[in-house]
Amino acid sequence: MITPSNPRAHPLAFGTTLLLVSYSTWHSKLTPTGIATAFVTALLHISFPSPLPFASLVTFFLAGTIATRVGKAVKSGFTVSSTGGSGAEGPRNAVQVLANSGPASLFIVAAFAAPYLGVDVFAGAQGKGKGGDEAVVQRVVFGAACAYAAAAADTLSSELGILAKGSPFLIVPPFRKVPRGTNGGVTVVGLGAGLLGGAVIGGLHFYYHGDVVGAVAIAVLGLGGSVLDSVLGAVLQATVEDKRTGKVVEGANGRRVLAMQSGSRVMRGRDWLNNNGVNFAMTLTMGVSGLVVDGLLR
């Protein structure tokens, strides 16, 4: 049976959490609900028997923070905010936190709850040369790493790809050039940055486990997550443009942007998911894919 440990029994991880929460509060990186959600998420990760999920969470946060700061002034002029002004990213709320960290948290909760529910949520993790609990821990670690690799890849792809000199193009037909910030728009620079994001989490996996094949698989699935996010954005998420400037209008905290047919904005694409919905669907898909890949590799 896998049981959670007391987060305070891990002083380094607990101290790191307090430090990052303080940083996020001081620099307005998160809203109050975002801070509370991030804190609970971190404690959940710390309580897991392996340190890798928490390390992946922290690495994703740091990589995203650094990427967001790169060219921040320039990027703010590429898009406009739905609330007025530039398209600079504001504090992230609880929904945005869960859109990226939710799948890994679900895997951890499932591992803790499975014995009480009598459900083998990680079917196939038993009987592969390791004890049952150890095999389940390994599978959760790999799935969580893939989810965070995808989240990191998507974040770096978006934050750094928008700075590319060339115009982005749609990742789905008709593959036309689109304004910066368009959902489903990609650049070669962005795809390269996405691979880097996945490789960072894959490298972390290699550092802890010395598993080259697993690390490469995590990096590839991370890039795949970035590509999937672009496809979902192009197919299921509407892009709203300001008619006067031709710039993409970004919704606050990843929410939908309102556009009246006769107003100053024009909407393109299907309005089925907002940005948070796309992110969660993508990270969950790649996390579950990681669970499957781990079963194939062991």
Q: What is the mean pLDDT of residues 265-293?
A: 94
Q: Is 239 exposed, middle or buried (0-12, 13-18, 19+ CB in 10 A)?
A: buried
Give the separation between CA 148 and CA 100, rounded to whole angstroms. Answer: 7
Give the separation between CA 141 and CA 88, rounded to whole angstroms. Answer: 34
The model's pLDDT over 43-89, given as tens digits with 9 standing for 90+, comes to 999 999 999 999 999 999 999 999 999 999 999 899 988 876 666 67
If you write DSSP's letter for every residue of 144-172 in order, what string do you get?
Answer: HHHHHHHHHHHHHHHHHHTT-SSPPEESS
pTM of the model: 0.93
Give the separation between CA 154 and CA 168, rounded to whole angstroms. Answer: 15
Q: Identify the residue whose tokens are 């890949």.
A: 293
Cα-to-chain-centroid distance, residue 170: 21
Residue 287 pLDDT grade (very low, low, confident, very high; cuts 50, 70, 90) = very high
Which residues of the chain form beta strands (DSSP E)? 79-81, 169-170, 185-186, 239-242, 248-250, 265-268
Q: What is the pLDDT of residue 88?
A: 60
Query: How many Å from the N-terminal Cα to the C-terminal Cα in the chain?
Result: 21
The model's pLDDT over 92-137, given as tens digits with 9 standing for 90+, comes to 999 999 999 999 999 999 999 987 876 666 755 554 445 578 889 9
Reading across the β-sheet that carries 265-268, which strands appear in turn?
Answer: 79-81, 248-250, 239-242, 265-268
| Residue closest to 291 by CA, chosen among 135, 139, 138 | 139
| Residue closest to 264 by CA, chosen among 281, 246, 282, 276 | 246
Percent of the chain scoring above 90 in pLDDT: 76
What angle (nearest 5°) sits at the alpha carbon of residue 77, between those of residues 30 and 35? 0
Give the separation between CA 112 and CA 135, rounded to whole angstroms. Answer: 14
Q: Is 102 exposed, middle or buried (0-12, 13-18, 19+ CB in 10 A)?
A: buried
